Structure 1
Amino acid sequence: MNLLDQHCIHGAAARDPAAIRARLAEVPDWQAIDGTIAREYRFPDYRATIAFVNAIADMAEAENHHPELTVAWLRCTVAYTTHSAGGALSDNDFICAARADAIYKAVHE
């Protein structure tokens, strides 16, 4: 099932390394780093960066799965991990990564 057709579930289980590699193929601009997946997004101006951050916040609230956001001049880094899975990666992280990519694509088309 496509990641965008799924929603986060409470208590999602940690994924094993093979499953993480398979899921990363579905969100190719993301990298696995120290138990998280992360991606940096670039923007033409600061207002566009903040608009993206606000859209991510709305999505995170709707999915009840919240990323770490690092906001800087013309860029935002989004990082996910699942605390309830012991700080490991779960399907929730990949679902939200795909949703973040869709939000970014929508504002850049």
Structure 2
Amino acid sequence: MNLLDQFCVEGAPKLDAGQLDMLLPEVPGWAIEDGQLRRKFAFRDFHETIRFVNSLAEMIDQENHHPTLTVTYQHCAVAYHTHSAGGAVSLNDFICAAKANAIYAQRAGA
């Protein structure tokens, strides 16, 4: 399944444990913690962190699927869950996680 080619849909259902286990390898660095899909991204300095956050914000708005972001000097923690799925993890969360990984990889190469 190529998550990068997919788009978030309104009303995405909750994924079951088997689906979560199947999809986690598709988004390296992410984990299910406290019922959310989470990852912490590391950067050299605050400016690099903010550049990532700005790039991430563009994708987030395009997908209309907004995570919780925690931004510090050299880190950006991202936590996804889906309100329409009762606050559980849905395919939308994995789609955005894959796209966030791609943005991070592109910024690292910049």
TM-score normalised by the shorter chain: which range applies? over 0.9
Report percent identity of matched pairs.
53
Q: Match of 1:2? A: 2
Q: CA deviation at 1:47?
A: 0.5
Distance 1:17 1:62 in 2: 28
Q: How does 1:42-57 map to 2 (within 5 A)?
A: 42-57=42-57
Q: Distance in 1 between matches of 2:25 and 2:74?
A: 26
Q: CA deviation at 1:45?
A: 1.0
Structure 2 length-normalised TM = 0.96
Query: Where has structure 1 moved over 6 Å in runs of 4 or more?
Result: none
For structure 1, the residue ranges without an aligned partner over 5 or more in a row are none
Q: How many residues align?
A: 109
Once the 2 structures are TM-superposed, how far is the Cα of residue 48 of structure 1 from its aligned partner? 0.7
Where structure 2 has 5 or more consecutive residues not aligned to the other structure, the ranges are none
Q: Distance in 2 between matches of 1:92 and 1:3?
A: 9
CA distance in 1, matches of 2:28, 2:17: 16
What root-mean-square deviation, in Å, do the aligned CA atoms of Structure 1 and Structure 2 show?
Answer: 0.7
1:9-49 Cα deviation digits (max 9, x unpaired): 00001100000111111112101001101001011110110
Aligned to 2:25: 25
SS in 2 for 1:44: coil
Q: Secondary structure at the match of 1:9?
A: coil
What TM-score, normalized by structure 1, do the two folds share?
Answer: 0.97
